[in-house]
Amino acid sequence: MSMEYEHQLMAMQISPADAHGTTPGKEQQAAGVGILLQIMMLVLSFVLGHVLRRHKFYYLPEASASLLIGLIVGGLANISNTETNIRTWFNFHEEFFFLFLLPPIILYPNFPSGFSLSPKPFFSNFGAIVTFAILGTLISSVVTGILVYLGGLIYLTYRLPFVECLMFGALISATDPVTVLSIFQELGTDMNLYALVFGESVLNDAMAISLYRTMSLVRSHASSGQNFFMVIVRFLETFVGSMSAGVGVGFTSALLFKYAGLDIDNLQNLECCLFVLFPYFSYMLAEGLGLSGIVSILFTGIVMKHYTYSNLSENSQRFVSSFFHLISSLAETFVFIYMGFDIAMEQHSWSHVGFIFFSIIFIGVARAANVFSCAYLVNLVRPAHRQIPLKHQQALWYSGLRGAMAFALALQSVHDLPEGHGQTIFTATTAIVVLTVLLIGGSTGTMLEALQVVGDGLEGTLGESFEGNNGYIAPSYNEEASSGNRIKMKLKEFHQSTASFTALDRNYLTPFFTSQNGDEVEELDEPMPSSARGGFQGHGQHSR
């Protein structure tokens, strides 16, 4: 801008922003309108979700309804003459998603789930959960990447380099079964199945992000020999480093709350504030060190739930549980609205329909390879009465919806990959997310009834899981291993080592990091009658 032009504007008392038609007042008004529309859509989603739940209409779950609201409003904004500065408030920014929306979603299962899901089925199935989430996600990513690459070689799909196919396999392996879990709770299903689906979803996101970032780093190197070595080293560095940071922060918080004497009435606000800040500190610490904040905050949440939480006063326990439930509900609903709006507003590359169609088939095959192979390995370890039944495996396969995590990573791939490649992956992921959330999410109730895994209610099914012989809760190592089956023997030895860790935790870690002893923990893990269990939601793990 010339000096003469600036002097003219000053003489007319017009700012340069006014000359271009974007005054600060206009920007503030646009921001207000944008935020108002977001709040209105959130209110509509919560009200609609409540109405659907109340009338037991399972064909349109809450997440699907939120996504549809975002799609409809985004479509209307796209065809209308909505101002650009208002529409920018609805753009899906992956940084905003990873930094602000994802942490509470990752954290929430570690706290209220301790009430809605009894600790015993979750931790008794922890080995299976880790197998599905880590080994299974790796299998799913590699199988998807290989199938997409082979499809490109024989001209079935759009051809991508092998490393980019693996990046696509990693991001599309991130499951988001929010819809399925909500229907599980409404209809009532076996608690072991619920624990497996829930536990896999918690760990799966961390694994998918680590794999995606590792493959993205590998892509920048040319030598294949160096690539393979770097994949292993970089992945271990990221995952183990992030896990160590998260566990370290969690243990530090446990010792602080044990010895600082914060559990008195006039310090309750300070106690709650510190408890809420520690997980986010872990997240930012890992991100600042170039590690994975999601992996770090996940393990911080697990450690804090197991150790730090029991050092809180009863009032603080109730508050932090309600707080994490609140912000998680807001974040999850906002993510699906946000995602739907952005899907309608973004420019998509629909020229490669074959890539989308075959990708859907490939991820179904990869999900099957994940679930059934991991279930086979888990069943090798378990005695007959603790086997994961085939109908639960089929339900696990069907529950692999794709959601916000896959969408955010796909949006990031648009910046990470060459023009055209990232756009194709983003369009395919968008189509997969919409189809799985709307179609699979809406048909989950029918699937549960067809597989006959629906109980009279979640609590009743939980009681049967503990008392009946068909559940797979209590560990048992009395069965003899078949002769000559070395793999089974090794797996049994590994399974027994988890029991050794449980004893270590009960005898040493819990007394050191909490004000409880091992006997108290055992009593807390005992199953409770239904009447007591219903009131458990509002109380802490122990009385002070």
Question: Which pLDDT value is given to residue 183?
Answer: 73
Query: Does the pLDDT value for residue 110 go beyond 60?
Result: no
Alpha carbons 536 and 520: distance in angstroms, whole number: 16
**Residue listed under structure tokens 């009894």:** 118
Question: Which pLDDT value is given to residue 139?
Answer: 94
Kindly indicate the confidence band of residue 247, based on its pLDDT and cuts at 50, 70 and 90: very high
What is the radius of gyration, based on Cα positions, of the chain? 25
Query: Does the pLDDT value for residue 171 go beyond 50?
Result: yes
Query: Does the pLDDT value for residue 501 go beyond 50?
Result: yes
Question: Which pLDDT value is given to residue 165?
Answer: 93
Identify whether the C-beta of residue 460 lies closer than 8 Å to the C-beta of residue 467.
no
Identify whether the C-beta of residue 215 lies closer than 8 Å to the C-beta of residue 166.
yes
Kindly indicate the confidence band of residue 115, based on its pLDDT and cuts at 50, 70 and 90: very low
The residue with greater pLDDT, 485 or 347, is 347
Kindly indicate the confidence band of residue 207, based on its pLDDT and cuts at 50, 70 and 90: confident
Alpha carbons 215 and 227: distance in angstroms, whole number: 9
Q: In what helix (H) or strand (E) does residue 74 lie, and over which residues does it extend?
A: helix 62-79
Question: Which pLDDT value is given to residue 503?
Answer: 74
Percent of the chain with pLDDT over 70: 72
Alpha carbons 35 and 89: distance in angstroms, whole number: 7
Q: Is 524 helix (H, G, I), strand (E, B) or coil?
A: helix
Query: Does the pLDDT value for residue 279 go beyond 80?
Result: yes
Pick from 102-111, 112-121, 344-353: least confident: 112-121
The residue with greater pLDDT, 469 or 264, is 264
The residue with greater pLDDT, 219 or 164, is 164
Handedness of CA 262, 264, 268, 270 (dihedral sign): negative
Query: Does the pLDDT value for residue 252 go beyond 90?
Result: yes
The residue with greater pLDDT, 478 or 188, is 188
Percent of the chain with pLDDT over 90: 12
Give Cβ neighbours of residue 187 (< 8 Å, ≥ 6 apart).
58, 445, 448, 454, 455
Question: Which pLDDT value is given to residue 86?
Answer: 56
Question: Which pLDDT value is given to residue 517?
Answer: 55
The residue with greater pLDDT, 363 or 206, is 363
Alpha carbons 399 and 26: distance in angstroms, whole number: 46
Cβ burial of 480 (10 Å; 0-12, 13-18, 19+) is: exposed
Q: What is the pLDDT averaged over residues 32-46?
A: 85
Pick from 16-25, 104-113, 271-280, 520-529: least confident: 520-529
Question: Which pLDDT value is given to residue 227?
Answer: 55
* Mean pLDDT for the chain overall: 75
Pick from 150-164, 285-299, 488-502: least confident: 488-502
Identify whether the C-beta of residue 143 lies closer than 8 Å to the C-beta of residue 369.
yes
The residue with greater pLDDT, 390 or 236, is 390
Identify whether the C-beta of residue 176 lies closer than 8 Å to the C-beta of residue 144.
no
Kindly indicate the confidence band of residue 373, based on its pLDDT and cuts at 50, 70 and 90: very high
Alpha carbons 151 and 158: distance in angstroms, whole number: 8
* The pair of three-digit structure tokens given for residue 10, joined into one six-digit string: 């000053």
Neighbours of 300 (CB within 10 A): 33
Question: Which pLDDT value is given to residue 265?
Answer: 64
Q: What is the pLDDT averaged over residues 283-306?
A: 87
Q: Is 431 helix (H, G, I), strand (E, B) or coil?
A: helix
Query: Does the pLDDT value for residue 348 go beyond 60?
Result: yes
Question: Which pLDDT value is given to residue 167?
Answer: 92
Instruction: Give the Å distances, CA to CA, from 544 to 253, 261, 263, 273.
Output: 19, 12, 9, 20
Kindly indicate the confidence band of residue 90, based on its pLDDT and cuts at 50, 70 and 90: low
Pick from 48-62, 80-94, 192-206, 520-534: least confident: 520-534
